Structure 1
Amino acid sequence: MNFVELILTVCTLAQPAACDERKLVFESTTGSTSNCMMQAMPYIAQWCGEHPQLTVTKWRCARPGAEGDKI
C-alpha cells in the first residue's frame, strides 16, 4: 500500500487570521505527490463538509512524515 499525506492550511470563519494545519493520510495508487495533487479535491471537499466552521486556504501533498510535525 502507498500512502500520501494531504496537508491542509485551515482558518476559522470567525477569526480568519487564526490558521492551523490539518494532516490527512490517504491511500494512493502510486504513492506519488503529483498523483495526490490530482486526487486531493474530493478529500478536501469531504473534509470541508465535515468541518463547516473552518475554511481551507491552501493545501499541499507530501509523503507521510516527510514534513515532520509543528513544534
Structure 2
Amino acid sequence: MFILLSVCLMSSPQTCREEQLRWSLDQRSSLQCMMGAQAVIAKWHEDNGKWEIKSWRCVPKDKLLTAI
C-alpha cells in the first residue's frame, strides 16, 4: 500500500509535486491505510518541513501506476 501526497513548497506555492510513501509491505485495505496513515504523514512532514501537504490518498501497489 502506498500513500500519495500532493505537496507544494511553502516558499513557492506554485512549485508542487507528488510524493509516494510506502506504508506497508503487505496488502492492507484502503480503510486501514486511511486510519493509520496520519502517523506516516506526520513523520514525513517533520522531515520535510519546507513542504505543505495539500492532499493525500491511499493506493494499493497494483493501482499505483494508474493513480498518478
Residue 46 of structure 2 corresponds to 49
Give the number of equivalent residue pairs.
67
The SS at the match of 1:17 is strand
Could you tell me which residue of structure 1 aligns to residue 22 of structure 2? Answer: 25
What is the distance in 1 between the residues matched to 2:25 and 2:38? 13
2:40 partner SS: helix
Percent identical: 27
RMSD, aligned CA: 1.9
Any runs of at least 4 consecutive aligned residues in structure 1 with deviations exceeding 3 A, and if so which? none
1: CA distance, partners of 2:54 / 2:25 = 23
| Cα 1:63/1:54, change in 2 over 3 Å | same
Deviations 1:16-67, CA, capped at 9 Å, x for gaps: 1211100001227761111100001000100000001111110000101413
2:5/2:56 contact within 8 Å kept: yes
Residue 10 (structure 1) aligned with residue 7 (structure 2)? yes
Structure 2 stretches of 5 or more lacking a match? none
TM-score (norm 1): 0.83
TM-score, length-normalised on structure 2?
0.86
Partners of 2:35 and 2:27 in 1: CA distance: 12
Structure with greater helix percent: 2
Gaps of 5+ in 1: none
